[in-house]
Chains A and B, each alone.
Chain A
Amino acid sequence: MIKTGNFSKLIKSTSQVVSNSYKTSNKAAVIGKKDVTQPPTLLLTNGNLAKSLPTGNFYVCSGPGVTTQVRFAHTDINVPDWSSYRRQDKKSTESEDTRKNFTYLIAGAGTVGGAYAAKSVVTHFISSMSASADVLAMAKIEVKLSDIPEGKSVTFKWRGKPLFIRHRTGSEISTEQGVPLSQLRDPESDSQRTQKPEWLVVIGVCTHLGCVPIANAGDFGGYYCPCHGSHYDASGRIRKGPAPLNLEVPTYVFADDGSLVVG
């Protein structure tokens, strides 16, 4: 057993002030307390943010009385200070139209260039489909009418086909104009087939099977096809024989200098 009485000698203490000659002097230097703990980090950089986020194995307690909220960095970030990047003297609304105009001007220039390029390409391909210069040069024929005497039919080559130009006499004109349309297989009046009554312009291809008729022959004094015996009159109309249609009249104009342009 331990009895307190046994310890009483040891517990007993003395309280006695012994005077000495030393005087308490003022402290000469104060050593400040060192900061042992780190100050809380400001979450301004990626590194600091990453340190503040939970790492490692991550356990979530859940239950009625336990909050499961995990605070990610959304609302509690201090907005970084961009003031050194900002222009203090200008407002963005003042230069808004200028900046928009610049952007739209660049886009507009691109549009113009693109439209020009597209138009050039399309024109290039379409123009390749049009007739070439040598074809166009052969497409028309010009005939000097003063070289054709009255009552004569002259043959020319036009677009690979024979072309008859006939300088008709007065009797031929009156005969053809007097033919009643009821007598004709392909009813066309003489005035429909000629621009000037003295000049008959027809393509010299028989409408039956494409032979070339002979001028000033046949029963009607016009053209006669030797292949199957079609008779055309002096207006190029079918009067007798197998051909179904009149000789074709091409488009032609009388030029001012006494010449005829066919085509």
Chain B
Amino acid sequence: MALNSTLYNAIFKRTSTFVLLAMASTFFFERTFDLSAESIFRSVNQGKLYEDIKKEE
């Protein structure tokens, strides 16, 4: 309960801090989301990408 009340009072109570947290977490979310999507794409298309063809030549 203490954790919840501190979290609420520190961040969610005010719109300014709420938006600030959303902005800050967007940066990290973007980074992780893009990287994971890229790695999924590469693992699915392994052997078909230009880098793989370039090595064979």
Contacts and interface: CB of A to CB of B under 8 A. Distances in A.
Contacts of A104: 8, 12, 18
Size range of the chain B interface in the assembly: 10 to 19
By DSSP majority rule, is chain A's interface helix, strand, loop, or mixed?
helix
Given A116-B29, A116-B30, A119-B26, A97 B4 contact: yes
A240 to B, nearest CB: 56
Interface in A97-151: 97-98, 100-101, 104, 108, 111-113, 115-116, 119
Interface string B1-37: 1001101100010000011011101100110010000
Q: Is the interface of B mostly helix, strand, loop or mixed?
A: helix
Contact of A98 (B4, B22, B23): B4
Chain A interface size, under 10 / 10 to 19 / 20 to 34 / 35 or more: 10 to 19
Contact of B22 (A97, A101, A108, A119): A108
B13 to A, nearest CB: 9
Contacts of B23: 115
A49 B4 CA distance: 44
Interface of A: 94, 97-98, 100-101, 104, 108, 111-113, 115-116, 119
